[in-house]
Homo-oligomer: A and B are copies of this chain.
């Protein structure tokens, strides 16, 4: 590969002049600039960014650590990150941890050694103290609040999304609104449930614990949860996620319950598949693209010291399809 030295020799000038010409860091006479450009062209010169980064302490690379690219939430977020990064001339090293904290930790270290300028963490794979100890590096977390002042955080307003969905069902006249969910801890999972409860409360509908089902967060789980409503069935179902909602839909079709005639269903996430069910499911869409894009903007701005770390919450969007009357 041709180096800047070769270019300098070919153009009959010094190395520093070539550098100045190429980066515009010092005035260079037009005629010599031309000679230099020609030399570059002739030699097929491409600057070595490792060398440049070594000197400037900027790699123009960010690291993205995610749990599992195959989870339908991630590709769109990652894509938005990559695009926004590109706008700022940054590249993206993608690390998929397979949801294993050990892998996450070693990924993080490798990224640091590769001198990435910043890191985006999606979901909670990295142990908190590992992040604390590498706190030099600009970092933004998506959908996980590490509660570290130096770490920015962008979240979707899950509670608001659930609130809006349930309010919509109530507006359609539903009164016995079931909630099917996976097992709830305190964290992310619980926020949707809070939205559900608040919407009921704000509409003077008493909360009825018998309408809540905890099940596995998959198709089967949704299916079983639905089937378990034997005696007095609900008139609507709000689901923790789309896959469960699809399971519920399947259960309804097996039991001869008509959607949206006899029952309304709203899911959560807006995965591709739900627009293909019959009827297509209404759902709460996460602002995936916006999350990735904003996270990247915040990250790069803190790298460039144009802004301080901050936390933002982005609103979800209720997508109305055919599964509620």
Contacts and interface: CB of A to CB of B under 8 A. Distances in A.
B110 A91 contact: yes
Interface stretch (A20-28, A71-79, A165-173, A308-316): A71-79
Which has the most chain B C-beta neighbours within 10 Å: A44, A46, A75, A219?
Answer: A75
Contacts of A94: 78, 82, 92-94
A68 B83 CA distance: 11
A147 interface: no
A304 interface: no
Nearest to A78: B69
A95 B82 contact: yes
A198 to B, nearest CB: 30
A285 to B, nearest CB: 14
Contacts of A61: 93, 114
A316 to B, nearest CB: 19
B93 A46 contact: no
Nearest to A275: B219
A253 interface: yes
A286 B74 CA distance: 21
A47 B246 CA distance: 49
Given A69-B75, A82-B69, A47 B277 contact: no
A273 interface: yes
A76 B82 contact: no
A112 interface: yes
Contacts of A44: 133
A114 B54 contact: no
Given A50-B114, A91-B111, 19 more contacts: A44-B133, A48-B54, A48-B113, A49-B114, A49-B115, A50-B54, A51-B54, A54-B54, A69-B78, A69-B82, A78-B94, A83-B98, A91-B93, A91-B110, A250-B276, A250-B278, A253-B278, A276-B277, A278-B278
14 contacts: A1-B136, A49-B110, A49-B115, A50-B59, A61-B93, A70-B79, A72-B272, A82-B96, A91-B93, A91-B95, A94-B94, A246-B276, A250-B276, A273-B276
4 nearest interchain CB pairs? A273-B273, A69-B79, A94-B94, A69-B75
